[in-house]
Homo-oligomer: A and B are copies of this chain.
Amino acid sequence: MGNVIDIAVISGDGIGPEVVAEAVKVLKFVTNGGKTEVKLTDYKLGAEHWLETGETLPEETLEAIKKHDAILFGAVGAAPGDTRIPSGIIEREMLLKLRFSLDHFVNLRPAKLYPGIESPLANPGEIDFVVVREGTEGPYVGNGGSVRTGTVHEIATEVSVNTAYGVERVVRDAFRRAAERERKHVTLVHKHNVLVHAGHLWKRTVEMVAQEFPEVTHDYLHVDAATIFLTTDPSRFDVIVTDNLFGDILTDQAGAITGGIGLAASGNINMDRTYPSMFEPVHGSAPDIAGQQKADPTAAILSVALMLDHLGLVDEARTVEQAVEKEITSRQELTDNRTTSEIGDAIVALLA
């Protein structure tokens, strides 16, 4: 990387371009003072692009994207009523294709309740945990099918595929992250009393990897119980490690209890660095408010912090985080009808 970081930018649909614009503003500003030059290359992808070209993610584009140091991602998805686009095609053939092709096995989703942000929970307590969601296996592999489709005899299956290789690397990542945190605690979430085979692979793997981290404690929760604790006692969580589908569910709930997914950042990380990692807000394209400067760019900006961290620009990452934290804390006094770019500007002002 040297003193250049070379970023692929996929703004996508809806509010994607607006929030990415603010994320880029922050990225440029925070690296400007230092020796790091930021190179940005835009890739037009998403539902709009599909409507224009019929392309989801062409091979050449994927190959080009692979050459960058990291990817900054906005959001994709058509308006809910738009029947011109086959349902889920952009999600699967673009977003999930990127995660799978680039081996983003750690889908990292921090959940933090910032001072000044109202939680929908009456007594949220201190919420500060990260979810390490597996990103390349589980029920997301696309191994489903149907026979006698559309008849009364239809059978549709979905196969969750889990490998020792895939589970071990993400579990080890979770323990590593826990070891660096204050509370040093890992919670495995699964449903091993029903999904016996996948569940026991996860359980055995956690027991095994835990041996390497004597300073880290761990426990286990069924996914149904985890949703209860996220409601009644979220401060019990430090690091959650879980599969692709449970991670999808729990991180949306985690976003909700920490004040909304307008603040939730994520990294799709290839820890082996064989391909670029991708950083994206957890929220979607929100077509209903797109183009109106109503979206909160904070999640996208916090995703930049995760990106900087991954690229080794640790000081810059902390600077962005601290600016965001300050900005958020000051919101108590605001009736927040600022525009997307006003919020971005406010964060930039705090970077100085």
Q: Which of B88, B193, B201 contacts A91 (CB 8 A)?
A: B193
Within 8 A of B (CB), among A246-280: 248-253, 255-257, 260-261
Would you give the shortest CB distance from A224 to chain B, in whole angstroms?
Answer: 4
Q: Which residues of B contact A201 (CB under 8 A)?
A: 146, 154, 156
Q: Which residues of B contact A119 (CB under 8 A)?
A: 122
How often does this chain occur in the complex, in copies? 2
Q: Which residues of B contact A224 (CB under 8 A)?
A: 248-249, 251-253
CA distance A194 to B93 in the complex (A): 10
A92:B159 contact, CB within 8 angstroms? no
B194:A261 contact, CB within 8 angstroms? no
Q: Which residues of B contact A150 (CB under 8 A)?
A: 204
Residue-wise, chain A 221-263 has the 8 Å CB interface mask toward B (1 for contact) of 0011101101110000000000001001111110111001100
Would you give the shortest CB distance from A264 to chain B, in whole angstroms?
Answer: 11
B158:A197 contact, CB within 8 angstroms? yes
CA distance A301 to B276 in the complex (A): 56
A152 lies within 8 A of chain B by Cβ: yes
Within 8 A of B (CB), among A157-174: 157-165, 168
Q: Which of B158, B200, B253 contacts A159 (CB 8 A)?
A: B158
A157:B157 contact, CB within 8 angstroms? no
Q: Which residues of B contact A142 (CB under 8 A)?
A: 196
Would you give the shortest CB distance from A285 to chain B, in whole angstroms?
Answer: 13
CA distance A87 to B161 in the complex (A): 21
CA distance A252 to B226 in the complex (A): 9
Within 8 A of B (CB), among A116-173: 118-123, 139-140, 142, 144-146, 148, 150-165, 168
Would you give the shortest CB distance from A114 to chain B, in whole angstroms?
Answer: 16
A120:B252 contact, CB within 8 angstroms? no
Q: Which residues of B contact A192 (CB under 8 A)?
A: 87-88
Given A92-B194, A195-B139, A248-B224, is A158 in contact with B160 using a C-beta cutoff of 8 Å?
Answer: yes
A176 lies within 8 A of chain B by Cβ: no
Supplied contacts A158-B197, A159-B159, A224-B253, 19 more A-B pairs, CB within 8 Å: A87-B200, A88-B193, A88-B199, A91-B193, A120-B123, A121-B122, A139-B195, A145-B197, A146-B197, A146-B200, A146-B201, A148-B164, A153-B165, A155-B162, A156-B197, A157-B161, A158-B195, A194-B248, A231-B256
Q: List A residues at the B interface (Cβ < 8 Å).
A: 87-88, 91-92, 96, 118-123, 139-140, 142, 144-146, 148, 150-165, 168, 191-201, 204, 223-225, 227-228, 230-232, 245, 248-253, 255-257, 260-261
Q: Which residues of B contact A249 (CB under 8 A)?
A: 223-224, 227, 249
Given A121-B122, A256-B227, is A191 in contact with B245 using a C-beta cutoff of 8 Å?
Answer: yes
